[in-house]
Amino acid sequence: MDMVFTTCSRVSSGTGFGSDCYINIAYNQQLKLCASSTDSGFKKGVRTCRPPDDLCTVDPDFKFDLRDDPTNVVSRIQTSHFNITELSSFLS
């Protein structure tokens, strides 16, 4: 599961249009896949990966990294402008 959210430097209170806007995608950071199907995914009792045939293994330590940092993998797609009200009703 990824998180999608918008950011704009300014939004007109009269029209609802934003300027200098981005659609941002933050990727869920969770357990990686194990290199082979024979790997149990545990090392010293700690889960370190998910077997390929068990993609639905729960990762209670998943997180989203929202830092503004060049090493962080977050996609930003710049848009020319869009109406914040219309976008929010589209995503609901």
pTM (global) more than 0.85: no
Range of the domain at 58: 29-62
Lowest mean pLDDT among 21-25, 35-39, 42-46, 56-60: 56-60
Q: State the average pLDDT over residues 35-59.
A: 83
**Residue 67 in domain:** no
Number of folded domains that form the chain: 2
Q: What is the mean pLDDT of residues 76-91?
A: 53
- 33 and 56 fall within a common domain: yes
pLDDT of residue 92: 45
Residues 12 and 34 in one domain: no
Give residue 52's pLDDT band: very low, low, confident or very high (50, 70, 90). confident
| 43 and 20 inside one domain | no
C-alpha distances out from residue 43 to 25, 49, 50, 70, 79, Å: 32, 9, 12, 31, 45
Angstrom distance (rounded) from CA 92 to CA 88: 6
Assess whether 18 and 6 both reside in one domain: yes
Determine the average pLDDT of the residues in 59-68.
Answer: 80
Q: Is 18 inside any structural domain?
A: yes
The answer to whether residue 50 sits within a structural domain is yes
